[in-house]
Structure 1
Amino acid sequence: MAKSSSQNHHRLKREERNTLRRKDDEKMMISEGRRQRRAKLQTTRANGEDETIFLDGPSAPEKKLVLATNSVRLKSVLKLLCVLLVCGWSMRYAHDPSTSSLTLLKRASGSVTLGFLLASIGYKKKSLDLSGAVSASLVGVLTIFSGVRYGLTLAFFFFSGSAVTKVQSEVKKQVDEHFKEGGGLRDFVQVMANGLVPMMLAAASLYSLGGLSFIANTTGAGAFAEAIISSGGSNSSMSNATTKVASTLAVAFLSYFSCCGGDTFASELGVLSKSKPRLITTFCRKEVEPGTNGGVSLLGVVASIFGGLVAASGWALGAYITSGVRTEILYALIIGAFGGFFGSFVDSVLGATVQYSGYCRERKKVVSKPGPTVTKISGLEILSNSGVNVLSASFIAVAFGALYYYRI
């Protein structure tokens, strides 16, 4: 045990040294570029030439740094897409009732394997701490077991959310009091805030269809045992009432994650807007500091729609590789876009009213707790950020689920 702890300690030290070494190399490249520009500027001044022409555009070392950074980002995106595609086809194989007579056993073992694997990847990439990885394993196993669509929606939301938190982390460090080096390390509370309710919705949807007996009865039939978003339900042999309930719970599940995805993208990307956000409860008339709960910007609004679409893309991919129903894919993307937009709106209203925001003169950033050096901006100290996320996403899930049930 002591040996393992010592190895982890040395591994973390090596990673820290490597990170510092990369940062030093980047600083040296930027300094070299600035030195070259100053030398060129002095030369042009001595020759009486126009000194501004050499100030346009980055120097050669800076261009190399930008190209290297973009290359790393592109590789990360491609690697992420490959991981998600592999997850999708792995889930499809584990849930396919036509490939084995042991449908239930294969589905259970595949869900456990994939659930723990995804959580371990998050822990290794420092997107989760130990408590977050343990809770993510539980959420992942039960969600994946409920169906391919559910599992892929969870995977798309989790990996995209972890990736977007790392965008321009140096800028966020200046304005976000909860910023953590590495851009992640979600704990138990954050994982459960995003995953507990949709996990229960996914399990309830499967249970409404018949649960374990429904899975066992689909062996060899070629029909995946899970609800789909449509007016006809997931299985023509079931009653319309049964399939409608299952599909309604599926809509609520997707709406919840669309809201969470929209809020995550709006928070992580909206704070990077060049213009100051405006407080939503003042009908966007009052400008506030970046990082203020309830502050909205055009970039944040666009990001919320995109975040909802990314989460819904997981459902759409699951629908494509299991049934290929185009109407379901279209429904999913529409729910994702509107869920992300309205979810971010509800989250902003709650953040501006029941979540405290104040500007700390000492730390020079927005904080969520009052203090002697803090000037209040908005809100009451009633709910934490996780509480606001759960409340807003649950509201969107109920609203969209009810709309689907009574209108479709």
Structure 2
Amino acid sequence: MTIFLRNARYFLPQVLILLFFMTDLDHNTYKKYIEMITNIVILSLIICISLAFWIMSMTASTYYGNLQPISPWRWLFSVVVPVLIVSNGFKKKSLNHTGALGGLVVGFILTVANFSFFTSLLMFFLSSSRLTKWKGETKKRLDSEYKEGGQRNWIQVFCNGAVPTELALLYMIENGPGEIPIDFSKQHTASWMCLSLLAALACSAGDTWASEVGTVLSKSPPRLITTWEKVPVGTNGGVTMVGLASSLLGGTFVGIAYFLTQLVFVNDLDVSAPQWPIIAFGGLAGLLGSIVDSYLGATMQFSGLDESTGMVVSSPANEKQVGEQVNCERAENRVPLSHCRLPAKAGPR
């Protein structure tokens, strides 16, 4: 306490002098000072949080005996890197407030569990964010619900990240944090969890790549996956060859990220099963994920045509249903459905 008071007597006048001179600074310089102090405070909090996690890890390993403690550097990396990535995504409008909070949780858990999980998630997020912004003006004319930069919220983060997060937690319970080769002869359950998590991320990437690339580059109209009839662009369940090829590439991209991380961080690859099939597995998961998503969209999601804009929308208000003929009263911006026999509920994904 005495040392604290002595230090306070020394530093307090310095802080007061700094605040006094800051009152005479222009607005931009003052803003830079505030930003610098804020970054210092955030960094200090991150270090404290990482050390707290490390202490809890050491305590748990001492108490239970069979748990391996997680290094402080892994804790620090697992906290700092997701914060930086999410902050950058929030600034670029790839995430809103709720999406940023959800992304922090997902990123932290996957990074602690396995760096291969982290790089797969990172490549999915970065590529999807970039593709969402790509040719945004064209997509704005085709999609009534298009948002600048994507603006993913907590619901989208939950849909894409809930299953990988659950699998990462189960992986840590089964194997503990760390990277392992995928080898069913040695670690059967943990290998299945790794492939399941990779498949979940590859499916999300494949679906996103298909919808973002196929909508713009496809020269032919999408076809409904259940009946193969031509449908308007933007209809749930519609597919194109460009979109399917893009989904294959999206899953392969995530698989390559996982494979390269294995090469860097796994030590006993020379005595383990070959890891290169991970790439093919990722591509196949991306393609199948996109196909399943399109089938669910064709059979379970609503699609309607807003006549005032000519866009396909997902809300049943003030538009005609893209589907089976039903009885419907005439209303403003709506025509009798007997005049518009369009295939049911499809999309450009």
With normalisation by structure 2, the TM-score equals: 0.70
Residue 299 of structure 1 corresponds to which residue in structure 2? Answer: 242
Post-superposition CA distance 1:109-145 (Å, at most 9, x none): 2201112111111112211111111110111011100
Structure 1 residue 289 and structure 2 residue 232: aligned?
yes
1:39-188 → structure 2 map (5 Å cutoff): 103-181=70-148, 183-188=149-154
* Equivalent residues in 2 for 1:306-321, closer than 5 Å: 306-321=249-264
SS of 2:146 mapped into structure 1: coil
Aligned to 2:163: 197
Instruction: Identify which of 260, 263, 280 aligns with 2:204.
Output: 260
Deviation for aligned residue 1:105? 2.4
- For residues 259-314 of structure 1, the C-alpha deviation after alignment (integer angstroms, 9 at most, x for no partner) is 111000001111111110000110x2x10011111101110010010110112122
CA distance in 1, matches of 2:152, 2:135: 18
Which of structure 1's runs of 4+ aligned residues deviate more than 4 A? Answer: 378-381
| Contact 1:206/1:227 (<8 A) preserved | no
Distance 2:345 2:212 in 1: 23
Give the distance between the partners of 1:323 and 1:251, measured in 2 at CA.
Answer: 16
Q: Which residue of the partner structure matches residue 301 of structure 2?
A: 355
Structure with the higher fraction of residues in helix conformation: 1
**Which whole-Å deviations, capped at 9, do the CAs of 1:343-395 have from their partners, x for residues lacking one?**
111111000000111111112101111133323245579xxx9xxx9xxxxxx
CA contact (8 A) 2:181 2:275 kept: no
Distance in 2 separating the partners of 1:232 and 1:206? 19
In structure 2, the gaps of 5 or more residues are 1-26, 32-53, 55-67, 324-342
C-alpha displacement of 1:196: 1.4
Q: Sequence identity of aligned pairs in percent?
A: 35
Instruction: Report the alpha carbon displacement of residue 103 of structure 1 after superposing the two structures with TM.
Output: 4.4
Deviation at 1:231, TM superposition (A): 2.6
Q: Gapped runs of 5+ residues in structure 1? A: 1-6, 12-93, 95-100, 216-224, 234-242, 390-408
Pair 328,205 (structure 1): closer, same or farther in 2 beyond 3 Å = farther
- Kindly indicate whether the alpha-carbon contact (under 8 Å) linking 2:179 and 2:265 is maintained by their aligned counterparts in 1: no
Equivalent AA in structure 1 for residue 258 of structure 2: W
**Per-residue Cα deviation, 1:315-348 (whole angstroms, up to 9, x for no partner):** 1121111127485541210111100111111111
CA contact (8 A) 2:302 2:321 kept: no
Distance 1:247 1:206 in 2: 12
Report the alpha carbon displacement of residue 104 of structure 1 after superposing the two structures with TM: 2.8
Say if 2:181 is the partner of 1:228.
yes
1:203 maps to amino acid? L
1:206 corresponds to = 172
Normalised TM-score (structure 1) = 0.60
- Does structure 2 retain, via aligned residues, the 8 Å contact 1:229–1:331? no
Instruction: Report the Cα distance in structure 2 between the residues aligned to 1:125 and 1:379, rounded to whole angstroms.
Output: 36
RMSD across aligned C-alpha pairs, in angstroms?
A: 2.5
Structure 2 Cα separation of the partners of residues 155 and 278 of structure 1: 32
Encode CA deviations 1:11-62: one digit per residue, 9 max, x unaligned: 9xxxxxxxxxxxxxxxxxxxxxxxxxxxxxxxxxxxxxxxxxxxxxxxxxxx
> Contact 1:156 / 1:313 at 8 angstroms: preserved in 2?
no
Secondary structure of residue in 1 paired with 2:295 = helix
1:280 and 2:225 are equivalent in the alignment: yes
| Cα distance in structure 1, aligned partners of 2:275 and 2:233 | 36
Distance in 2 (alpha carbons) for counterparts of 1:186 and 1:228: 33
